[in-house]
Structures are given as C-alpha cells and as structure tokens.
Amino acid sequence: MSDTDIVELGQQLRVDSVRAAAAAGSGHPTSSMSAADLMAVLLARHLHYDFDRPDHPGNDHLILSKGHASPLLYSAYKAAGAISDEELLTFRKLGSRMEGHPTPRLPWVDVATGSLGQGLPVGVGVALAGSRLDHLPYRTWVICGDSEMAEGSVWEAFEHAGIEGLDHLTVIIDVNRLGQRGPTRHGWDLDAYARRIRAFGWHTVEIDGHDIAAIDEAMTTAATTRGAPTAIIARTRKGRGASEVEDREGKHGKPLSDPDAAIRELGGVRDLRVHVQSPPDVEPPARGGGDPHTALPRYETGGDPVATRTAFGETLAALGSLHDDVVVLDGEVGDSTKAQLFSADHPERYIECYIAEQQMIATAVGVGVRGWTAYASTFAAFLTRAHDFLRMAAISRSAINVVGTHAGVSIGEDGPSQMALEDLAMMRAIHATTVLYPCDANQTVQLVTAMADQPGITYLRATRGDSPVIYGPGDAFPVGGSKVLRSHPDDQVTLIGAGVTVHEALAAADQLVADGIRARVIDLYSVKPVDTQTLRTAAADTGRFVIAEDHHPEGGLADAVMGSFGNGHPTPLHTRLAVHTMPGSATPAEQLDAAGIDASAIAAAARKLVAT
C-alpha cells in the first residue's frame, strides 16, 4: 500500500470505530481514533499474520493493551477481511464476539485486555516464548495507551524484557495526552517516557503518530534492532479527525454526539481491504515428548515427615523430564518453594521473574499462549499482588498452574506478613478455577501431576512444615474428590480438614475415642470443585460437622463445605474453626493453638456439638 492508501486506511479505521460505537451507543471511539494511523501502518506493512490460520506458528502476535480501544482492533479485522461490516456493527451487543474489550472468543485475540497495564507484561511472556522456548522468528507487537504507563506492572514488564533482550518485542505507546478524566501525568512529553524506558535497556524511537512515513520508519527500525526490545513512543491526538472531539477533554468513553457529521468530516465510509503479509513458513518445535522412564517421587508411609512444598518441587523436576512442554516460573523464592529443583535439570525451561509477581503470572499467561504448560510459584501470601492478573487470565481462558507455598499460620515464626490467610477465598472466587490443598507428600505428587491436564487456572496450596506421610504412592486423588480417613456406622460427628488441619483432625478423632465419641474424618483436598456427595452422605450419617481451616473464616474451606447444601439437602449442625485473630510470631504448634484450629480445639468443638 502507498502512503496515500495508508492515510485512507487510517481514516477508514476511524470511521468504522465511530460507526461501531454509535451502533452500540457506548464505547471508546476517541481512544481508537488516536491510534488509527499506527494500526494502519502496522497492518499494511509490518504485521505478518494468516487470519485463516490463527494457530500458525509463524504468526506475529498483536496485543491491544489499551483494550478499551477495541473498536480500532475490530475495524482492523474488518479491513483484513476477517470479519464482516455487519459483525462489526454488533459491537457490544448480546452474544456478539465484538465485546466491549477484546477476549479470545475471537480466534485472533491471544489474551483478554481491558484492565490496563497487562498487555505489555503478557506480551513479554509471548515474546520470551518465541526467543527462549520456541526459537521462532515471530514478532510480538503491543499497543499501549499513555494512561497505563502509570501502572507499576508496565515497568515490571519493561525491566523483564530489557534484561532478556527481547528484540522481537515492540511496544507502541499511543501518547494522546488525555486520560479518562483529564490530562495524563506527562501529557505530550515523549522524552519523559523515553528516558525511563531506555533506563530498562530498551531502544526508543519518538515520532509523530500521524506521520505515515515516520511510523513506517520506526517499525522498520524496530524490526532490525538487535539485542534490545524497541518502544515506539508516538505523539497523537485523541479523537483525531473529528472536530467535535479531537484533543478535547470530557469526550472519553462515549460515542460521538453527531456521528454522521464526524463521518462526513473524516471523508465518509470506505471499504478498503488490506492484504496482510503472510507469516514465514516455519515448523513449530516438537513438544509433548520426554523420558517415559522417569519415575515420580514416592514417599514411605509412616516414614520421615515431608513438607508438601518439598514434594511439589521434587515432583516438578520429574515432570520436567516426563514432559518437555513444562515450563516453571519463579518469583525469586525457588529455594524455599523448592521450584528451584526443576532448574537443575531443565534450566532452559526455568524462567526467573524475580520479586515481580504480576510479571510472573503475566509471563505464565504469555508462554501459555504458545501452548507451553506453565507452573508459576511463590509464597501464597504474595500472590495477592497478582490477583488482577489471575482474574484476567481467567477471562483469557488461560490454562496455567499456580502454586502458593508457606500458607497459613502453620508457617510459624515469620509472622502474619508471610502467612497466606486469604488465598483460598481469592482463588475460589476466580471463574472456573480448580483449588487443591494436599496434606501429605504422596497426595501432593498426584495432584501436582494432575494439574498439567486441568483446564483453566489450577491453584495448589502447599505448606512449609514437614507433615506425616499418611497415604501410599499408589493412592489416587481425583480432582473433585476427597478421602474419608475414619468412618464407622456409629459416627456422631464429622471432622473436616485440608492440608495441616487433616493431621489435627486425625489427632482430635483419637482424643474423642476416650470420650466414647466416634468421629468421621474427611480430607477435603479438592476445595474447588468440592466432593458434594461425600459431604452430603456424612451430613446424613452424622448430622454434625466441625470444619477446621488454616485460613481466615471468609471464603475458605468452610464456605466450600457449606456451599454443598441447600436445594433440599438439610444443612448439618456445624462449627467453623478458622483464624479469626491477627497472628504474631510463634512456633507452628503455638500458632495452631492460638488460632483454635489444633487437635484440642477440634475435639472440644466436636464434644460441644455432640452434646447439643
């Protein structure tokens, strides 16, 4: 396409963005219009993509981080012939693939965006997969807005990409000066962005974002720069081309009041088609193999206690040998989580993200885009920093495995800043997650292995201290199941635990025998989905539950248990034992006692219920 044709294409993208928002009665046309020339040059001259084969291994990856500008992306898809004009105008309608912010319901969208500051972090993961794992020449293009440059996650991404030297990654920053409620922090001061980005090891180019030749030259420079990623920092005007809204405050996030006048001002409706360049004919790396003779860890029942975090790390190392598509990401605590055991045998598939939990989850999502099986681990308490990234990963339909260790008060002397007491609630609340909480080493082996085949986000909670090995290496632990460890027809109460409280419940059951009280004990290792049938059977048989959890009372194990009832199933009498107070520093045993979740507290609660 000539420069003149690309100018026309940019105008078409603006017109179609205005039309889409007008048809919806909502949307962000002005944010789309500022970046239209950038998108036009990228689409016509630099993107390599086969829209008929979105899974082509040579395809470039385009991530619109400023996801509110989705009309621009959809207009580009129309210009490429991927969607019709009729579908474009279903924007934001019930059942339409043209959602308010893009999601992978569209086959050309890698990840959902819309929560600002996430597109570049995920793009780093996609680019890193190409350079370190796939060894493919595709480029990753990320279009960001200037407002999201205030997000700390963006700067985690800049540093990670710079350290990795991801020269096949290009970020295009649409500096249109205006945010949602007024001017951005740096306005049109392009150098304010460039100075910071260069400090992270990037090559930067500052341009007029409406100058076709300058945009083309900048993208060519990005494609030929070696050893460093490139940031194209483009000065643009929000609402470009429509006098009603161009560079005017108060016009964000709403359709134009007179779209027909704006369309006339922009030169009218067009129907240009762009021939997007084909990707190179490359072969994807062979994956799915490994050494089938590798043995998973086996721990001796009744032998030395083993921490579930240790079993996690040893299992992960074995999985890396069994399956050559497993990738492990660490938040600079791999020596404590034991994920570091993987790196000794598989250093090329071990990605150190340092203490940047948002970037760690984003990188996991990014390498998952390329089909790798990602395990990301850190202390469970620190995953709260990455909650929004996990939430968006669910919207992206990502399949990633997340492991949080050092959970609960049972970590002991480190104190409350290191104790995850909210993680079960956080992970249960995310759409379509699987939440697992093993209590011993052999159970951990089976569950960590099962995670690799689970759809969506799977979370495993592991603990710091050594635990007795109560299961054999051959025991099965299906997701959605539980284990009934003690059972008798004369049971009067059911004790329910997960993780450390399973062992406390077993000890409590032993104490109750002296009082002539029989107690059923359930290990509810699958917190989501929960074993509804076993719980309902126990309720019918015993009528009383004591639920003990090393977690705050809100949203954890007890809520999972009690959510199994209703709809005609009577609720048992029950007592919830959880961490109600703010812990301090103490030994693990002292912590369990102070929280009221140890064997003595469980037994006392059971006695009280039975006496009711």
- For residue 396, give Cα distances in angstroms to 120, 369, 576: 15, 10, 35
| Structure token digits, residue 342 | 């993987």
Distances (CA, A) of 223 to 151, 194, 206, 336: 27, 18, 16, 40
Beta-strand ranges (E) seen in 101-229 are: 140-145, 169-175, 203-208
Q: Are 292 and 322 in contact (CB under 8 A)?
A: yes
Distances (CA, A) of 96 to 74, 114, 399: 12, 17, 24
Instruction: Determine contact, residues 555/524, Cβ cutoff 8 Å.
Output: no
What's the alpha-carbon Rg for the chain, to the nearest Å? Answer: 27
Q: Kind and range of the H or E element at 15?
A: helix 3-24
Q: Please answer whether residues 392 and 102 qualify as being in contact, where contact means their C-beta atoms are separated by less than 8 angstroms.
A: no
Q: Please count the CA atoms within 13 angstroms of the CA of 44 that sit on its side-chain side.
A: 25
- Measured from the Cβ of residue 89, the count of other Cβ atoms closer than 10 Å reads 18
Q: Look at the chain and count its residues.
A: 612
Burial 420-432 (b: 16+ CB within 10 A, else e): bbbbbbbbbebee
Q: What is the DSSP string of 51-112?
A: TT-TT-TT--EEEESSGGGHHHHHHHHHHTTSS-HHHHTTTT-TT-SS-SS--TTSTT--S-
Quick check: is 8 catalytic?
Answer: no
Residue 352, SS3 per DSSP: strand
Two structure tokens written together for 186: 């740096």
Q: What is the largest CA-CA distance in the chain?
A: 90
CB 519 within 8 A of CB 495: yes
Residues 328, 185: Cα–Cα separation, whole Å: 37
| SS3 assignment, position 599 | helix
Say which of 159, 357, 422, 549 is annotated catalytic.
357
The helix or strand, by DSSP H or E, that contains position 526, with its residue range, turns out to be: strand 526-528
Main-chain phi, psi angles of 174, to 5 degrees: -85, 95
Parallel, antiparallel, or unpaired for β 483-486 and 519-523?
antiparallel
3-state secondary structure 453-481: CCCCCEEEECCCCEECCCCCCCCCCCCCC
Between CA 96 and CA 321 the distance in angstroms is: 43
Give the sheet arrangement for strand 350-352, strand by strand: 350-352, 326-330, 373-379, 401-405, 458-461, 434-436, 526-528
DSSP lists the bridge partners of residue 548 as: 577
Q: Please compute, for residue 559, the number of CA atoms within 13 A of its CA located in the half-sphere on the CB side.
A: 15
Catalytic machinery residues: 357
